[in-house]
Structure 1
Amino acid sequence: MRIGFSVPQFGPFADPGRSAAMCAALEALGCHSLWVADRLLAPLAAPDGYLGGGPMPVRYATHLDPLLALGVAATATERVRLGSSTLNALWQPPLVLARALTTLDLISRGRLDVGLGLGWMREEYEAAGVPWQGRGARLEETLDVLDAVWRSDPVVHTGRLWTVPESTVLPKPLQGPRPPVLLGGFTPPALERVGRRADGWLAASMPLPYLEGLWAVAVEAAERAGRDPAGLRRVFRVNPEVTVAEVDPSEVHHRGTVRQICDHLRVMCGAGSDEVLVDLQLTTDSPGEFLDLAAAFMAELTGPVPN
């Protein structure tokens, strides 16, 4: 199992200098990866689609730009992979997105994992001036443009939404033929897209039966496309509420003691290429508390499996 943590970027951690120091400290703990998330705003009224039906956590209102935060993490570290879980892919033209991601791959010396998703909040789409309807088709063409920019020279693309005339677009990413692309989502169409054209799935901690049903969709789609499903990565995000006392087993996919949460993550990770992403920004309030808890997760996940 590979172990990743969130790049500090929200609430009390939304400070570039503090984030850089914490990223260096997380790398020193021995983790494998660091991941940014993407928020534009936090509506004062409860947004449609938010889990739990209530208002979003207040600290999501204070945030660093994910791509710039990833650049901070890249310069503060030397070894860990750097990714986005997830970057909302549709809020900027794909050619502009390709340029930013290529630059990040070069800054990080080839350590970038491109994690893309559609997001879930209508209010953010409205504020970004991007249509809510047709998101799936817009993502498909975004992936087409990214592939054209990264794989072709000269670059050309003609689609329903965007046209790139035959052009030189340099430099190319350090990773060839392109950085790994992982896709988020929790619906059958999203998992079908993962199997058909991505390098992996940005998943989340969830009850095992739900996971198995979704993953079967990706496996079948990969096989239909002539791809080997065993080559697909899975990264399981958990935003845990860490408790002192043990909780009911039905809750351990999102809250419980460090050991309970780690036991659930071990059950979910069925392959050596699977990875966990532990986001501690909602359950800690200071760099010291964040890093101490990260160390506890590292010790639990890398130590002997409890009987």
Structure 2
Amino acid sequence: MSPYPGGDRSVLAQHETFLDPLVLLTVAAGVTRRARLGTSTLNALWQPPMLLARSLATIDQVSAGRLDVGLGLGWSRDEYQAVGTPWQGRGVRLEETLDLFDRIWAEDEVVRHDGALWTVPPSYVRLKPRQRPRPPVLLGGFGPATLARVGRRADGWLGVGLPLPVLAQAWEAVTGHAAKAGRDADALRLVLRVNPVFSADPVPDEQVPNRGTVRQLADYLSAAVESLGAEPLIDLHHTADDVEEFLDLARELHDLVRSRTA
């Protein structure tokens, strides 16, 4: 089994059961009206790009243009083996997937693609996303090639809870690559996902934001917003045992961060 990239390298119990994200986004689209909907992160290579592009365009249509497409490459060789996708060459495969998305979602009704990995004969594809020219595409990952790819062609980076100096260094690399590519670096988004485990008592600073009190996490997020323009995305399933606790923690954290950044 592939070791988990964090902690004691074992897979967390909370990660042993996940519902299909595209199905859940479709359900969420039907019961919300204003909230943005997205993934952090959807493994981009586990289904053919034509099918994934159609599913994402469908969600963007049924949600009236509220989809953020958050993509990553994953970390588990076992998962790649299970879905029949090669582990080697993931970056090249993602690049061509993004090429195909741009082609499929363009205004042209007839789509054609001749690539190293996929060939699409001339095909009518009239289903397009509601958002034009496409839904925002955000990419996760930390390697130099990934940060360069974000700067070259994505709409933002899906960062995670790192020490602020490390986070700032990675974000500087992204914006630097964007500037080199002739893009507007200021238009890129830094979406910062944190999966905290809350404690009753304060913990040493080096454990924040992965552990700590609600106030410690609020201080960290406020600093990330103010210094980097980050958009916090908080995942509480590591620390909340039921829906009520989840909502209570989310409300307390929201109010603290809002009071510091207003």
TM-score, normalised by the number of residues in structure 2: 0.95
**Shift of residue 210, structure 1, vs aligned partner:** 1.3
**Shift of residue 168, structure 1, vs aligned partner:** 1.1
**Shift of residue 219, structure 1, vs aligned partner:** 1.5
Alignment of 1:162-181 (within 5 A): 162-181=118-137
The CA deviation string for residues 186-239 of structure 1, in whole angstroms up to 9 with x for no partner, is 111101000000000000110122112212221121111100110100100000
Give 4+ residue runs of structure 1 displaced > 3 Å after superposition: 270-273
**Shift of residue 100, structure 1, vs aligned partner:** 0.3
Alignment-derived partner of residue 60 in structure 2: 105
Alignment of 1:153-164 (within 5 A): 153=108, 154-164=110-120
Alignment-derived partner of residue 48 in structure 1: 3
Alignment-derived partner of residue 38 in structure 1: none
Q: Which has the higher contact order (CA 8 A, sep 6+)?
A: 1
Whole-angstrom distance in 1 between the partners of 2:228 and 2:163: 20
User: Is the contact made by 2:160 and 2:192 (CA closer than 8 Å) also made in structure 1?
Assistant: yes
- Count, aligned residues: 261
Unpaired stretches in structure 2, ≥5 consecutive residues: none
Alignment-derived partner of residue 207 in structure 1: 163
Whole-angstrom distance in 2 between the partners of 1:188 and 1:218: 9
**Shift of residue 271, structure 1, vs aligned partner:** 6.4
Whole-angstrom distance in 1 between the partners of 2:152 and 2:126: 28
Higher mean Cα deviation, 297-306 or 106-115? 297-306
Q: Say whether 1:189 aligns with 2:151.
A: no
Matched residue of 1:303: which SS? helix
The amino acid that maps onto 2:7 is G
Whole-angstrom distance in 1 between the partners of 2:116 and 2:200: 53
The amino acid that maps onto 1:186 is F
Q: Say whether 1:237 aligns with 2:183.
A: no
Distance 1:135 1:66, change over 3 A: same
User: Is the contact made by 1:243 and 1:257 (CA closer than 8 Å) also made in structure 2?
Assistant: yes
Unpaired stretches in structure 1, ≥5 consecutive residues: 1-44
Whole-angstrom distance in 1 between the partners of 2:65 and 2:160: 25
TM-score, normalised by the number of residues in structure 1: 0.82
Match of 2:211 among 255, 259, 263: 255
Alignment of 1:272-291 (within 5 A): 274-291=230-247
Matched residue of 2:179: which SS? helix
Whole-angstrom distance in 2 between the partners of 1:48 and 1:87: 19
Alignment-derived partner of residue 225 in structure 1: 181
Whole-angstrom distance in 2 between the partners of 1:108 and 1:146: 19
User: Is the contact made by 1:187 and 1:214 (CA closer than 8 Å) also made in structure 2?
Assistant: no
The amino acid that maps onto 1:134 is G
CA RMSD across the alignment = 1.6
The CA deviation string for residues 21-49 of structure 1, in whole angstroms up to 9 with x for no partner, is xxxxxxxxxxxxxxxxxxxxxxxx5x324
Distance 1:216 1:273, change over 3 A: closer
Whole-angstrom distance in 1 between the partners of 2:221 and 2:37: 21
Whole-angstrom distance in 2 between the partners of 1:149 and 1:262: 41
Matched residue of 2:130: which SS? coil
The CA deviation string for residues 78-110 of structure 1, in whole angstroms up to 9 with x for no partner, is 101101100000000000000000000011110
Whole-angstrom distance in 1 between the partners of 2:236 and 2:141: 21
Distance 1:272 1:57, change over 3 A: closer
Matched residue of 1:179: which SS? coil
The CA deviation string for residues 176-195 of structure 1, in whole angstroms up to 9 with x for no partner, is 01111010011111010000
Alignment-derived partner of residue 69 in structure 1: 24
The CA deviation string for residues 148-200 of structure 1, in whole angstroms up to 9 with x for no partner, is 00014121111000011121112111100111101001111101000000000
